[in-house]
Structure 1
Amino acid sequence: MKVAIVNLGRILNGEWREPVTAGDSILTEDGKILKVGTLSSAEVETAQIVIDADGATAIPGLIDSQVHNTFGDYTPRQKTVGFLESYVHGGITTAISASEVHVPGRPKDPAGVKALAVAALRCFEHYRPGGMKVFAGSIIIEPGLVEQDFADIAAQGVWLAKAGFGAVKSPYEYAEMVGWARKHGMITTVHTGGASIPGSSGIWADHLIAMKPHVSFHVNGGPVAMPDEDFPKLVYESDIALQVCTAGNLRTTLMLGDMVRSADVFDRFLIASDTPTGSGIMPLGLMYTITHLASLTDMPVEWAIAAATGNNARTYGINSGFLKPGKDADIVLLDACVGGTKTDPLDALRNGDIAAVAAVVTDGVPRFVGKSRNTPAGNRKVRVARCDIPQDFSGVAH
């Protein structure tokens, strides 16, 4: 299936250094982006679906790199059904597991944590709630795991490993197991800050530097932040990616946003939500963190969007997060909300307002066009201008 998006007012491509792509159109085919920029009338005619953006802004689908999924679109932590599908209406097109730690009665023995990771991976391989792609199956690192265990699950496709919830006596005990996970090609992530659930322990900068993971999860606190003096250590004495989360400490989020720009290491700055947790369900979580950074600091809003798209994609090695040919066709159209003081979505975000999500495309398939159920309506009339297949993508039911 080919989809053409025309009459765009602006295209943000997911890069923070050169965030804007000239042009007003995007063409996708069979789940991939074919062309970004300017389309000829002949190219538009080849599309089965044409979306008229009416001047809206295109961004890559947001990537929430810390979601505590379980099985299916349900979270027992908040007793909520359909939360992932609801996140799509907040512009989030990809979720990455922060481990299936909230599965009721989750196993903690080596065989059990391996089985849990493999089962979660398999369950979401072809299951797309609301069109969202979920990278599930992050092994929870527990005492008793040996190097062969990581080799075994890596051979079965598991590529995520999480430290921080295991029954270790000291966080330093994770270091060897994190090293084994890295050796077998896994992206390693570590809980950072105070304990978030009973039985876990606080993890600070010295622990992280000893472990050498790829990503420091909720470095701003999940929900309790580490001491301020630890942040420069991670910025200047490591190459660990530094992920801030909506469910964390806002003050340290803003502080770290300034620090990574001053140190010229913005590639390592990632945005996620860390939900569902005690903080709840947050379909607009990434949008709120983008607005906080853009309105309460002098961070360019284009950079904040890149931290929730391209920076996440590069860190995790996935094919979304950018509006470029060959990338997954995950696209979000933003507008300023009706009734707001701003008419441009980026100006609205700089003003501290959320933007209206006017359309979401994942895998090259429009999931809704015209109105999100989780944001106010936009000012522009984003619509399906032509559809040659028997399906209505208007989203009017929402």
Structure 2
Amino acid sequence: TETTHIDQAFEAGMRIIGEVGIGSLKDPVRSGELSVYARELGMTVHMHCGCTSDRGPGGDAHPYFSAEDVLTVKPSIASHCNTFASLSDADIDLLCGEEGPPFVEVVQAGGTRSMLRVVERLVERDALDRLLVGTDTPTGFGVTSLGILKTVSDICSLGGIEPALGWAIASGQNSAAFGVDGNRVAVGGAADLLVMDVSLGSREDTPAEAIAAGEWPGIAVVMTDGQIRINGSLCTLRARRVAEISSAA
């Protein structure tokens, strides 16, 4: 049975189910029963919102999932609420309301207006602890480098979120929602760090000021597992201050 499959996945160590609506099961009621079952086991369930972003069959065969569908399924996360075939304003408001899922995601591969509406509604409700930041690339949109960086810049410079909070949403809050380690600066935590500064030539003094102004910072160093992987990004402008490595990492 379907619940047996969920049990087997959980016993094998899987903790994330997604993306509800993309697979063969399209019935929101049955999907909701399985979603609740999985969440009660301790799994994170995220669900597709709006229209699919692939080329698909088109017409009536091309699925669309409304806010009512999401509320019926009861996932942990409403994925890409600003998908290009965007949810209606009323649907966005419903998902961001008190009956909506624990987390609501905005992505780079989506509409800017609907993204800002999600941010606005969550700010009004003092519920930014429900906001997640993703990319949803490359499906239907191509590969977008720096997708998280661009989306953080959008929600801060256009949505009025403080840059430090924007980074926290896109890092630690994402990890908390999906139940994974990392994305926090903490003793004993993963040694995954990103060092940035304003871009060379910027009029701003700090990366936070640059992001608030709609600029992109320059990435100086990327470290994972305590090892320096990138010393000077090729995808951003050069950081004003170049990192100096004084000893082997």
CA distance in 2, matches of 1:172, 1:282: 35
Match of 1:286 among 148, 168, 174: 148
CA distance in 1, matches of 2:29, 2:53: 18
Distance 1:349 1:169, change over 3 A: closer
CA distance in 2, matches of 1:190, 1:260: 19
CA distance in 2, matches of 1:169, 1:382: 51
Q: Which residue of 1 aligns with 2:223?
A: 361
- Work out which of the two has the higher radius of gyration on C-alpha atoms and give 1 or 2: 1
- Counterparts of 1:157-306 in structure 2, within 5 Å, are 157-162=13-18, 163-168=20-25, 170-197=27-54, 198=56, 200-221=62-83, 223-236=84-97, 237-306=99-168
CA distance in 2, matches of 1:331, 1:313: 15
Give the drift of 1:315: 0.9
Match of 2:9 among 139, 142, 153: 153
Runs of 4+ residues deviating >6 angstroms: none
CA distance in 1, matches of 2:140, 2:52: 13
CA distance in 2, matches of 1:148, 1:290: 39
CA distance in 1, matches of 2:139, 2:202: 31
**Partner secondary structure for residue 290 of structure 1:** helix
Q: Which residue of 2 aligns with 1:115?
A: none
Letter in 2 for 1:179: V
Give the drift of 1:200: 4.8
Distance 1:169 1:210, change over 3 A: closer
CA distance in 2, matches of 1:282, 1:357: 17
**Partner secondary structure for residue 246 of structure 2:** strand
Give the drift of 1:146: 1.3
Name the structure with the higher strand share: 1
Assess if the C-alpha contact under 8 Å between 2:44 and 2:179 holds in 1.
Answer: no
Assess if the C-alpha contact under 8 Å between 1:212 and 1:240 holds in 2.
Answer: no
CA distance in 2, matches of 1:327, 1:164: 34
Assess if the C-alpha contact under 8 Å between 1:189 and 1:215 holds in 2.
Answer: yes
Is the deviation greater in 356-365 or in 181-190?
181-190
Q: Deviations over 1:79-106 (max 9, x none)?
A: xxxxxxxxxxxxxxxxxxxxxxxxxxxx
CA distance in 1, matches of 2:181, 2:94: 31
- Counterparts of 1:300-339 in structure 2, within 5 Å, are 300-339=162-201
**Partner secondary structure for residue 326 of structure 1:** coil
Q: What fraction of aligned residue pairs are identical, expressed as a percent? A: 26
Letter in 2 for 1:285: G
CA distance in 2, matches of 1:214, 1:326: 28
Larger RCO (CA within 8 A; separation ≥ 6)? 1
- Counterparts of 1:71-86 in structure 2, within 5 Å, are none
Give the drift of 1:185: 2.5
CA distance in 1, matches of 2:183, 2:228: 17
CA distance in 2, matches of 1:258, 1:203: 22
Assess if the C-alpha contact under 8 Å between 1:164 and 1:200 holds in 2.
Answer: no
- Tell me the TM-score normalised to structure 1 length: 0.58
Assess if the C-alpha contact under 8 Å between 1:166 and 1:200 holds in 2.
Answer: no
Superposition CA RMSD, Å: 1.7
Give the drift of 1:169: 5.0
CA distance in 1, matches of 2:218, 2:186: 23
Distance 1:243 1:293, change over 3 A: same
Structure 1 gap ranges (5+): 1-144, 390-398
Give the drift of 1:302: 1.3
- Tell me the TM-score normalised to structure 2 length: 0.91
Letter in 2 for 1:171: P
CA distance in 2, matches of 1:284, 1:268: 23
